[in-house]
Amino acid sequence: MAIEAAGLSHVGLVRKHNEDSIFLDQGLGLFVVADGLGGHAAGEVASRIVVERIAKVIESTARQDIKSLPSYDSGYSVNGNRLREAIFDSDRAITDDIVRHPERETMGSTVVACLVEGSKATIAHVGDSRAYLVGEKTIAQVTRDHSWVAEQVANGILTTEEAKRHPFRNVITQALGNGNDLAIDIVDLELKGSDAILLCSDGLSGMVMDEDILSIVKQASNLQVAARGLIDRAIENGGEDNVSVVVLKGDLS
């Protein structure tokens, strides 16, 4: 068995441009969703820079001694270090692009990336793009949004339901390309049985409830059908934002 994966991205029903970018490479074991910010075509540029730079760094670090990486930190796994280096690199690449194209100064991007090796999955994220672990009967959000409402929920000020409808629900507390220091979250998971990982932009998580995501993935005959079903549901529910999904299963053989 090899890694199985499927991904789709849709402009939605309201926006003129799709500023999300997705990337899937079973050979590298790399899967990425990036949600660009900045409008006027700049968001598209930012999210594309992110997926391209991450792919490049993951490829170039496959056989490298990770201790030689500029961002090496012994507190993280090998693949956690590779993802951190890749995300720092993509952050610098956006900043460099803005220097060359000042008209794009407001651009930035979120990212959620998953690097799979056999049954091990390492997930890194910045912003409010999410990873979920979909088990036999349960769904769990692996990432914690870097967003204002998520902070309020963590502090007990808002409930999860209030956060979903809050006028500030789209305010993120960190993004790639904004020139600030990044706090990248890294999670290492061991996949088993029928576990699937879903990466998505907020155009899915903001439009489709977690229980519905679970039932769509579980009822699908394969991952392509699951990805299509998730996009279709976000559109049915209003498609207010660009919507991107990547679903994958590890190589458990």
Contact positions toward Ca ion, by CB under 5 A?
35, 201-203, 241
Question: Shortest distance, CB of residue 201 to Ca ion, whole angstroms?
Answer: 5
Question: Shortest distance, CB of residue 173 to Ca ion, whole angstroms?
Answer: 15
Question: Shortest distance, CB of residue 137 to Ca ion, whole angstroms?
Answer: 29
- Written as one letter, the residue type at 77 is S
Extract the runs of DSSP E, i.e. beta strands, from 3-45.
4-10, 20-25, 30-37
Question: Shortest distance, CB of residue 47 to Ca ion, whole angstroms?
Answer: 10
Given the complex with Ca ion, which of 110 and 122 has the nearer CB atom?
110
Cβ neighbours for 169, distance < 8 A, ≥ 6 positions apart: 147, 149, 163, 206
Q: Is 117 left (phi over 0), alpha (psi -120 to 50) or beta?
A: beta
Question: Shortest distance, CB of residue 237 to Ca ion, whole angstroms?
Answer: 15
| Contact criterion met (CB below 8 Å) for 66 and 82 | yes
Given the complex with Ca ion, which of 206 and 250 has the nearer CB atom?
206
CA angle, corner 198, sides to 192 and 200, nearest 5? 165
DSSP string, 29-94: TEEEEEEEESSTTHHHHHHHHHHHHHHHHHHHTTTS-GGGSTT--TTS-HHHHHHHHHHHHHHHHH
Classified as helix, coil or strand, 59 is: helix
Given the complex with Ca ion, which of 94 and 220 has the nearer CB atom?
94
Given the complex with Ca ion, which of 195 and 241 has the nearer CB atom?
241
Given the complex with Ca ion, which of 20 and 85 has the nearer CB atom?
20
Given the complex with Ca ion, which of 81 and 244 has the nearer CB atom?
244
Question: Shortest distance, CB of residue 38 to Ca ion, whole angstroms?
Answer: 12
Distance CA 53, CA 242 (A): 22
Question: Shortest distance, CB of residue 142 to Ca ion, whole angstroms?
Answer: 19
Given the complex with Ca ion, which of 44 and 202 has the nearer CB atom?
202
Tokens for 66? 């990770």
Handedness of CA 171, 89, 4, 78 (dihedral sign): negative
